[in-house]
Structure 1
Amino acid sequence: MRKEQLFQFVEVIDCGSINKAAEKLYISQPNLSRSIHALEEEMGKQILERNNRGVTLTPTGKLLYYYSKSILEQFKVLERIKELDEDQIYSQLSISVDSIFLRDDLILNFYKRINSAETEIKFLETTAEEVLQNVIDMKSEIGITILNDIQLTIFKKMAEIKDIEIEILGTGPLYVHINENNPLSHKEEIDVKDLLDFPLIHLPYDFFSELNFSLTIDDIPLKQFKTTITMSNYHAIINMINHANAIMLGNKWQIEELKHSHIKSLQFKNCHITKSFVIIKRKRTVLSNAAKIFLDIIYDNYSHM
């Protein structure tokens, strides 16, 4: 049973007669009849009933017609695959992100731009330490994190030892994120001492977050906050800020996304802490097309901030 036989059989049924199908296929009627007869011999059953009005399908013919159409469609898919580049057949995006509240539509924009028959997205939200380790271990092609000056100095040294390339997309001041109805939200800048009685949300601890305890804002150590809450879930953090009057330290790249959740971002008075938007990847490694597209989206959304 050949693909050509199945194709001719389907054409006969679609045209309603052997003569019409032979004209459409530019072959002789006897040759087409022999092809159908050979198919019937291979099936061991009659598949067509011939009459003056053309042809009709036997029960076996109906089943063969259904499967022939399906098989021929699969052949069309195979022909298209032959013309596709590897990236158009299968794409995998593997990114590790230090929980920084990237825009909700980044993955949607990536999906719209990728042109693959099958796409796998591995988007891991974790700590800065694990972001670095995932890139080192090749679990992720790209890592994204936000680090202050002290963290960045050590991060660079660790990355250099492990042959990891670092790109600083931008820098900005430290912010505090509070609910827009918080009585302090009207201020242009805020004194850290005014926040010490509010619960401070802290992302999961790792080596780099532990370094924050040595930081001071206006000579007040961060460890002086009376209540801290360790959380990693984005929506839970938003609820705590909005309904428990909790606060969270952050950066300028979070501001626009948090506005949608009625959260205001304020700078501190007398604070010299700088935050950096850090992108990492392995040195001397060519990124996949999927990773390149995602990085382009990151640049488009964050490089101008």
Structure 2
Amino acid sequence: MRIKQLDYIIKIVELGSVNEAAKHLFITQPSLSNAVKELEQEMGIQIFQRTQKGMILTTAGTEFLAYARQILEQVDLLEEKYKGTDKRRRLFSVSAQHYAFAVHAFVQLIRSYEENEYEFTFRETQTNNIIEDVSTFHSELGILYLNAFNEKVIRKLLKEKQLTFHPLFIAKPHVFVSKKNPLVGKSSVTLADLEDFPYLSFEQGRVNSFHFSEEILSTLYHKKSIRVSDRATLFNFLIGLDGYTISSGVLSRELNDENIVALPLEVDETMELGWIHPIQKPLSPMAEEYLHYLKEHIIDYGFTIIEEA
């Protein structure tokens, strides 16, 4: 087994295609395919399943990839220490539900990174995609929430994907509204107060189960309902239509439009926000640093971080 073969595997996973990976690696497609086949034969496993949609990791391949990343990280450290080589181009990805605090922490991570080259990816995406991204190593971490309604379903899926949920903090539901909304000024709002305002939520694609909704109370009927796919559009509708959405109440002072206000929602519910990660894969230094900024930002907003046993 050669280090270069491990680099090949990781590039194929990132791009989902042997052809695209070969272009980025500046080798021919047959050479790359042969290198993968040789590695599979040597290891006695099938790393990829070849499909019409591209190369998909098998279960054995997913486990192999976790070890491959660890090996390459250690090789990188050895070369830096003893050969004086430049650091390997850093790659780090996070997939998250639409939370400003997760974006803010990512911005801080990038600002703190002093190297000239890096490739960071932040995916604000649907709940099922977050789980898929982390289980297939397209993202190292995922950010989502659990509550009494969705916990059983989400935890079952995480177990099937060999992922674990690490709680960060408990939040009581708030509604986000425009600062010009007639409800602004109230110390809290009820569901009855919201009845005549347009309700905004993030669509969940093909897996549009209530259990995958980013908003609690997803089974409630709303007279006016609008689904969107990105946070900027949702905020525009909050302002333009006097709409509202339900979330954790954590807004970023730096990144969010100052025209948005969070109001406590009078319901007997809580949200446990946290991060997911493969069970047996250790965190990279980059992931550790991101979690540091994430916790720092959460504490800055007056929440208490849940300490795991």
Kindly tell me: are residues 282 and 198 of structure 1, through their superposed partners in 2, closer, same or farther at Cα, counting changes over 3 Å?
same
- How many residue pairs were aligned? 221
Matches within 5 A, 1:126-275: 126-205=125-204, 207=207, 210-211=210-211, 223-254=220-251, 256=253, 260-269=257-266, 271-275=267-271
Kindly tell me: are residues 238 and 113 of structure 1, through their superposed partners in 2, closer, same or farther at Cα, counting changes over 3 Å?
same
Does the 8 Å CA contact 2:175/2:249 hold for their aligned counterparts? no
Which range moved further: 253-262 or 221-230? Answer: 253-262
Which secondary structure state, in structure 1, belongs to the residue aligned with residue 220 of structure 2? helix
Q: Cα distance, 1:301 vs. partner? A: 1.1
Whole-Å separation in 2 of the counterparts to 1:168 and 1:251 = 14
Identity %: 20
Whole-Å separation in 1 of the counterparts to 2:103 and 2:241 = 24
Per-residue CA deviations over 1:214-248 (Å, capped at 9, x if unaligned) read: x997xxx8533111111122222111111211111
Which one-letter code corresponds to 1:283 in the other structure? I
Quote the residue 1:63 is aligned against: none
Does the 8 Å CA contact 2:147/2:272 hold for their aligned counterparts? yes
Higher helix share: 1
TM-score, scaled relative to structure 2: 0.63
Does the 8 Å CA contact 1:99/1:232 hold for their aligned counterparts? no
Whole-Å separation in 2 of the counterparts to 1:166 and 1:259 = 27
Does the 8 Å CA contact 1:174/1:274 hold for their aligned counterparts? yes
Which secondary structure state, in structure 2, belongs to the residue aligned with residue 132 of structure 1? helix
Whole-Å separation in 2 of the counterparts to 1:172 and 1:254 = 12
Does the 8 Å CA contact 1:127/1:205 hold for their aligned counterparts? yes
Quote the residue 1:10 is aligned against: none
Quote the residue 1:113 is aligned against: 112
TM-score, scaled relative to structure 1: 0.64
Whole-Å separation in 1 of the counterparts to 2:133 and 2:278 = 11
Whole-Å separation in 2 of the counterparts to 1:212 and 1:95 = 18
Q: Cα distance, 1:262 vs. partner? A: 1.5
Whole-Å separation in 2 of the counterparts to 1:188 and 1:254 = 17
Whole-Å separation in 2 of the counterparts to 1:264 and 1:286 = 38
Which one-letter code corresponds to 2:283 in the other structure? L
Which structure has the greater CA radius of gyration?
1
Whole-Å separation in 1 of the counterparts to 2:208 and 2:146 = 8
Whole-Å separation in 2 of the counterparts to 1:246 and 1:255 = 20
Which secondary structure state, in structure 1, belongs to the residue aligned with residue 263 of structure 2? strand
Whole-Å separation in 2 of the counterparts to 1:137 and 1:143 = 12
Does the 8 Å CA contact 1:114/1:290 hold for their aligned counterparts? no
Query: Any gaps of 5 or more consecutive residues in structure 2?
Result: 1-78, 304-309
Does the 8 Å CA contact 2:210/2:219 hold for their aligned counterparts? no
Does the 8 Å CA contact 2:168/2:272 hold for their aligned counterparts? yes
Q: Cα distance, 1:251 vs. partner? A: 0.8
Which secondary structure state, in structure 1, belongs to the residue aligned with residue 150 of structure 2? helix
Which secondary structure state, in structure 2, belongs to the residue aligned with residue 190 of structure 1? coil
Does the 8 Å CA contact 1:96/1:124 hold for their aligned counterparts? yes
Q: 1:281 aligned to 277, 280, 299, which one?
A: 277
